[in-house]
């Protein structure tokens, strides 16, 4: 048997419990260790093309359709890019209202990601049926003095609900999991506590949507942002609307502190060996653009760059160092290019005859963003690590407290579970600081500062200009670049968090963060590559999702087949 035939290729398509369509192919050796990986976005995003020729003031409403989840993030980035191009500065009240929506989205996103999209990589639903509810309640009290809805009766009710699912022979959304996999480590009681909070998180995230809609008009796809400010003036001035918003945020804060954080500490304790082994660790290049200025001029997030896990120093972030290339992506322009000058011309070169990705050619609809020519990891782990290293007032105390309680070190956050831990810490940081922004808004109104829009004369603005917005959003750093000519959009590019993390290899053959995090993993069972899903899910993948193609006559346009094993 040759070396080549000892390796087998595993295809995971689609990767489920994410937003959008992601395909991952891995190559494993005879010891079931991953030796190479390819991450492929399977959807083409054409919003940039649609935006060409449009009035710049309309870009926000169109650009938010890039996604069905991060709608406000793209909406705000697009509006801010146009404001940057025209040098329009929105009033402080508008900035605060925008922050109240964005930060509520942060916490909602983190809740949904952990409980509903990722926790079942660590929580065995079927095991919870065997739990002793009295013992489970006692365990919950070990992680918090007042655990969220964890009385013996609460837990028994959840267990009965789960049993009804199983006894009815329809696991529904819990079907197709790798239940019973050898790598699940939580006890039946710990699994039951998690499932209790899984169900409760469904209610919490729904309520947070209402909070977002108080200022955004609706969600997803809010309507309140305009170039120069916001339109939700009466909502901002109505005490009842502010109270409604605060009531929901307070409810969410209770859940974070009494359920989410204790559950995360429980997972960190159970999977400590996986963390210390560095499972899911990437290149160690972290990037954060910073932002969300507090009233004392301190930013919530500190900006900076960390290279190769060197936590002794950070470099300043400079957005002019961002390029994208498509040497391994299905686009025509291959060389590294500034987003201002990129094109979005498709160049699809298909797959291999056996249906696998072309490992030596183009293999993804995702481009390869690079900072100073290097792949970068963005997201909560990057923000919390950089904030800690830079001694950010809003971040370091929370990180230090979590590290003291769990025994984690900074390096440990650069792992699959570590990214989740960083996300939980960030949820607490963000939720607590929402109240500071509300207080500032109320203070402004009290002193008759009710301005929410900066007036401008569009006809007097430059006909040719360019601008960009670089923001931190739940999944990581988001940037929109716009070039304007004859008062119309000449070129537009969005470099999104998942583009950074799900990047394919570049022209130098350097892997993207997903791929780097997967290589080196040892699979307990190649038929059930749970370890790969843990690494990929830890980044909170969110691929373009808002464009869905249907045939009005009901004809099938395409079919997707899950084929976990293909041997080469």
The gap from C-alpha 445 to its chain's centroid, in whole angstroms, comes to 34
Question: Cα dist. 340→209, 466, 489 in Å?
Answer: 34, 8, 11
Instruction: Indicate the burial class of 136 (C-beta count within 10 angstroms; 0-12, 13-18, 19 or more).
Output: buried
Question: What are the CA-CA distances from residue 125 to residues 18, 150, 352 (Å)?
Answer: 19, 17, 38
* Residue with token string 């390869």: 368
Cα–Cα distance measured from residue 163 to residue 155, given in angstroms and rounded to the nearest whole number:
12
Rounded to the nearest 10°, the torsion over CA 384, 385, 388, 391 is -100
Q: Cα separation of 267 and 184, whole Å?
A: 11
Two tokens, residue 266: 């429980």
Q: Which of 92, 100, 449 minimizes the C-alpha distance to 241?
A: 100
48 annotated to a ligand binding site: yes
Residue 67 is assigned to a ligand binding site: yes
Asked if residues 377 and 516 have their Cβ atoms less than 8 Å apart, the reply is: no
Contact 481, 77 (CB under 8 A): no
Q: Is 542 annotated as a binding residue?
A: yes
Report which secondary-structure segment, H or E, holds 445.
helix 416-446
Q: In angstroms, rounded to a whole number, what is the distance separating the alpha carbons of residues 110 and 99?
A: 16
End-to-end alpha carbon distance in the chain: 13
Query: Would you say 70 is a known binding-site residue?
Result: yes
Residue given tokens 């529904």 in the structure block: 172
Cβ-contact 198, 116 below 8 angstroms:
yes
Q: Nearest CA to 28 among 563, 520, 502?
A: 520
Q: How far apart are CA 334 and CA 165, in angstroms?
A: 50
Encoded tokens for 322: 């961002």
What residue numbers does the annotated binding site for Ni(2+) cover?
Answer: 67, 70, 542
What residue numbers does the annotated binding site cover?
Answer: 48, 67, 70, 542, 545, 548
What residue numbers does the annotated binding site for Mg(2+) cover?
Answer: 48, 548
What residue numbers does the annotated binding site for Fe cation cover?
Answer: 70, 545
């Amino acid at each position: 048997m040759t070396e080549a035939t000892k390796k087998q290729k595993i295809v995971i398509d689609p990767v489920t419990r994410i937003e959008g369509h992601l395909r991952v192919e891995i190559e494993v050796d005879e010891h079931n260790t991953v030796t190479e990986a390819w991450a492929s976005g399977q959807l083409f995003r054409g919003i940039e093309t649609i935006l060409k020729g449009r009035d710049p003031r309309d870009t926000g409403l169109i650009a938010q359709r890039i996604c069905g989840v991060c709608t406000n993030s793209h909406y705000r980035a697009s509006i801010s890019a146009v404001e940057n191009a025209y040098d329009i500065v929105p009033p402080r009240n508008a900035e605060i209202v925008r922050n109240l929506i964005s930060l509520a989205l942060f916490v909602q996103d983190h809740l949904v990601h952990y409980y509903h999209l990722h926790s079942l990589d660590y929580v065995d639903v079927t095991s919870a049926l065997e739990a002793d509810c009295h013992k489970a309640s006692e365990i919950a009290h070990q992680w918090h003095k007042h655990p969220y809805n964890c009385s013996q009766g609460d837990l028994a009710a959840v267990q009965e609900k789960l049993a009804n699912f199983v006894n009815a022979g329809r696991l529904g959304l819990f079907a197709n999991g790798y239940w019973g996999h050898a790598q699940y480590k939580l006890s039946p009681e710990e699994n039951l506590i998690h499932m209790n909070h899984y169900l409760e998180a469904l209610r919490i995230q729904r309520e947070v949507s209402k909070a977002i809609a108080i200022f955004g008009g609706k969600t997803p796809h809010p309507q309140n942002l305009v170039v120069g400010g916001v339109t939700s003036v009466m909502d901002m001035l109505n005490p009842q609307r502010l109270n409604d918003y605060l009531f929901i945020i307070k409810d969410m804060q209770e859940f974070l502190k009494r359920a989410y954080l204790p559950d995360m500490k429980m997972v960190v304790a159970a999977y400590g060996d996986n963390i210390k082994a560095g499972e899911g660790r990437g290149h160690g290049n972290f990037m954060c653009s910073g932002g969300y200025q507090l009233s004392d001029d301190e930013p919530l997030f500190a900006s900076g760059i960390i290279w190769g896990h060197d936590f002794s120093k950070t470099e300043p972030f400079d957005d002019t160092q961002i390029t994208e290339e498509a040497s391994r992506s299905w686009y025509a322009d291959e060389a590294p290019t500034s987003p201002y000058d990129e094109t979005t011309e498709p160049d699809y070169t298909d797959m291999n005859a056996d249906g696998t990705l072309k490992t030596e050619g183009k293999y993804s609809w995702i481009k390869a963003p690079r900072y100073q020519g290097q792949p970068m990891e963005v997201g909560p782990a990057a923000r919390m690590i950089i904030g800690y290293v830079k001694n950010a007032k809003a971040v370091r105390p929370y990180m230090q407290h979590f590290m003291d309680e769990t025994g984690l070190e900074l390096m440990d956050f650069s792992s699959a579970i570590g990214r989740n831990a960083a996300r939980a810490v960030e949820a607490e940081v963000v939720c607590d600081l929402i109240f500071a922004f509300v207080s500032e808004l109320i203070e402004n109104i009290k002193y008759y500062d009710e301005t929410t829009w900066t007036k401008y004369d569009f006809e007097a603005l430059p006909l040719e200009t360019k601008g960009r917005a670089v923001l931190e959003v739940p999944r990581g750093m988001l940037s929109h670049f716009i070039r304007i000519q004859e008062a119309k959009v000449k070129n537009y590019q969005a470099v999104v968090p998942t583009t950074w993390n799900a990047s394919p290899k570049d022209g130098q053959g350097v892997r993207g963060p997903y791929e780097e995090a997967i290589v080196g993993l040892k699979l307990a069972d190649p038929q059930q590559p749970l370890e790969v899903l843990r690494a990929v899910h830890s980044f909170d993948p969110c691929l373009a999702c808002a464009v869905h193609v249907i045939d009005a006559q009901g004809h099938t346009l395409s079919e997707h087949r899950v084929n976990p094993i293909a041997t080469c």
